[in-house]
Amino acid sequence: MVDRRNAPDAPPLSRGSPRREGSAERSASTAPCIRCALGKVISLARLHEYQGKRLLREAGLNVPRGAAASSADEARRIARELASPVVIKIQAWTTGRKAMGGVAFASTPDEAAQAAQRLLSMKVGAFPVEQVLVEEQLPIEHEVFVSLSIDDAARRPVLLLGVSGGTGIEERAEQVARISVGIDGTLDRAAIVSRLAASRISSTLHTPLADAVAKVAALARRIEARSVEVNPLVTTRDGRIVAADCRMTIDDYAVFRHADLGIDIARELDHPPTALERIAYAIEQADHRGTFYFAQLPIEAGKPVIGFHGAGGGGSMMSMDAITAAGFAIANFTDTSGNPSVAKVYRAARIILAQPGIVGYFGSGSGVASQEQFHSAYGLAKAFLEMSLAIPAVIRLGGNSEDRAVEILEDACRGLPAPVRGFRKDDTPAACAAHFHKLVQQCSARPATMQRRVPDFVGRPDSYSFAITGGRVWIDHAACDAAATQLVVQHSAGLLREQGGKPVLAVSEEEIAGKDSELIACEIECRRAGRPVLFVDLPIAGLDKTQ
């Protein structure tokens, strides 16, 4: 574990603390994902218990014999191979697994299979349990709590050590000692041994336990973890020291250096990544112009579900509160801020709309965003038009150029099956939510899904086209009279010119490659003028078929 605050690319640090059932992470809720997106805490990549135990074993610590299973038959096979009573635990990024019925004990392989079948049918929030860990039961003598994390105030790693570990450690927080750790990972072994000496653990085990703690610290440093927690680290009646449970989170800034960890999404999610979250993460990694964060949320049953699109900070949180108070459940949290490209806003809107069953689209950010709001308006308008939006949308575009943004959005979206309304910073989130509620009530016909539509000149041999990053631009030369050509050239930001009465490239293909924002703006302005002769085709891998 390293203190990254002094590193050139150092992100903010998070404070570790003891948690129920051995977790120094925050409890499972929607809030961690949202706060990460808003910059309140660092974004973390979590490892499952079985993944963490593999690392502990490689670091030289004893871990229970066992393996992860995805089916009852696998659980039966593992239990048979272990030839001993087993414990079966859901693999989910949550705390309090035992309290929620996520831990079972079995004496035979058939009992293990039955328990696994039940546990694999569970959901944590709205997300299904996909794996369980089947491992030997241990003859536990003593339990020790060990946690390595980063102390914000001290700007260095800290070791939390308790000689009474296991479930309910939070209720015994006063019994947990804080032991400083050097920036280079060195431990105060004397303080560790002194703490162990005050326990009922046999003195013959104090040095081996201190060695085990040192191995945990060395592992945390090697994998650049934000926290590594072993709770409990146990001594057994037959004299072994075993890491019986563990929690690990990796600094997302460091994930690219640790491909061996198998982390595909460096986000602090409280569930395995969904298909849409994977698509969104790929978009964010491919386009660093501004921020795009997307996380699907547990949905409260019995309420109409809406897609949410925020833009920065506390205003998004206030807006979520307002839309919840208006009687809606929120399918997702999305943030596009930090001056995102038009294409990034467009792709974010497309992913939000890909969620089945939503009855409306509610967008609202801080109201004082420094980014130019007309960029967001162009991106949203393109997504709504392509999808022939059939659910009401209310978008609060508070900030720079808000009047222009609202005009672009509402004018471009006239004639869609459902209303699209723009609001400004002086319109409160509560007022926007109330108006949104009325629009949803008035909209009776809601499709199960909406299909993307592209103009018929896309892919046609007589159409003019050129590649840009992530897609292709198509111009309907057959429909370009003098007026349409002038319109395209006028709104192309100097990227297109007239040649032979038709719009063509005015710059090189290398120069045009990254100009998706300007070209989308041109597309929307042509549509507003009633001459939809230019189309920016940006298919999204996982959602669309490519041309």
Average pLDDT over residues 398-408: 92
Whether the pLDDT of residue 436 is over 60: the answer is yes
What is the DSSP pairing of strand 420-423 with strand 225-236?
unpaired
**Shared domain check, 387 and 281:** yes
Same domain, 288 and 385: yes
Render pLDDT for 321-357 as a digit per residue (tens, 0 to 9).
999 999 999 999 999 988 899 999 999 999 999 999 9
- pLDDT at position 107 is 97
- Which DSSP category does 541 fall into? T
Task: Tell me if 145 sits within 8 A of 231, measured CB to CB.
Answer: yes
pLDDT class of 21 with cuts at 50, 70, 90: very low
Are residue 475 and residue 531 in the same domain, yes or no? yes
Total domains present in the chain: 4
Average the pLDDT over 159-169 and give the result: 76
Q: Are residues 424 and 357 in the same domain?
A: yes
**Residue ending a domain, choose from 137, 171, 187:** 137
Could you tell me if residue 322 is inside a domain? yes
**What tokens were used for 66?**
């066992």
pLDDT in tens, 491-529: 999 999 999 999 999 999 999 999 999 999 999 999 999
Of 408, 400, 545, 530, residue with least CA distance to 471: 545
Instruction: Band the pLDDT of 9: cuts 50, 70, 90.
Output: very low
Q: What is the distance between the alpha carbons of residues 486 and 480, in angstroms, rounded to a whole number?
A: 9
Q: Which of 411, 442, 473 is the last residue of a domain?
A: 442
Beta strand 140-151 pairing with 225-236: antiparallel
Which tokens go with 538?
Answer: 């940006």
Higher pLDDT, 469 or 268: 469
pLDDT at 541: 92
pLDDT-derived band at 391, boundaries 50, 70, 90: very high
Residue 119, pLDDT above cutoff 70: yes
> Is 340 found in the same domain as 207?
no
Distance of CA 354 to the CA centre of its chain: 16
Q: Report if residue 491 sits inside a domain.
A: yes
- CATH code, domain carrying 71: 3.30.1490.20
542 in a structural domain: no
- Give yes or no: residues 233 and 300 share one domain: no
Please report whether residue 30 resides in a domain. no
Which has more confidence, 242 or 175?
242
Residues 392 and 415 in one domain: yes
Here the CATH number for the domain that contains residue 145 is 3.30.470.20
What was the pLDDT predicted at 284? 86
Count other C-beta atoms under 10 Å from residue 229's C-beta: 29
201 is in which domain, residue-wise?
Answer: 1-24+43-59+139-261
Tell me, yes or no, whether 342 and 409 share the same domain.
yes
Identify the CA nearest to 280 among candidates 544, 530, 91, 540. Answer: 540
Task: Note if the pTM is more than 0.85.
Answer: no
Per-residue pLDDT at 15 exceeds 70 = no
The predicted pLDDT at position 168 comes to 57
Q: Is residue 414 domain-shared with residue 287, that is, in the same domain?
A: yes
pLDDT tens per residue across span 437-494: 999 999 876 666 788 999 999 999 999 999 999 999 999 999 999 999 999 999 999 9
Whether residues 355 and 393 share a domain: the answer is: yes
Q: Domain with 310 in it: what CATH number?
A: 3.40.50.261
Residue 117 phi, psi dihedral angles, 5° rounding: -60, -45
CA 121/CA 112 separation, integer angstroms: 14
DSSP string, 492-515: TTTSEEEETTEEEESS-HHHHTT-
Q: Is the pLDDT of residue 170 over 60?
A: no
CATH number at residue 528: 3.30.70.20
Select from 226, 261, 296 the last residue of a domain.
261
User: 103 lies in a domain?
Assistant: yes
Are residues 295 and 186 both part of a single domain?
Answer: no
Same domain, 116 and 146: no
Looking at mean pLDDT, say which of 2-16, 46-60, 444-458 comes out highest. Answer: 46-60
How large is the average pLDDT for residues 28-40?
A: 36
Higher pLDDT, 444 or 274: 274
CA atoms within 13 A on the CB side of 520: 31
Report how far Cα 226 is from the mean position of its chain's Cα atoms. 17
Strand partners, 333: 295
Residue 361 lies in a domain: yes
Please provide the average confidence, as pLDDT, over all residues in the chain. 86
* Residue type for position 137: Q
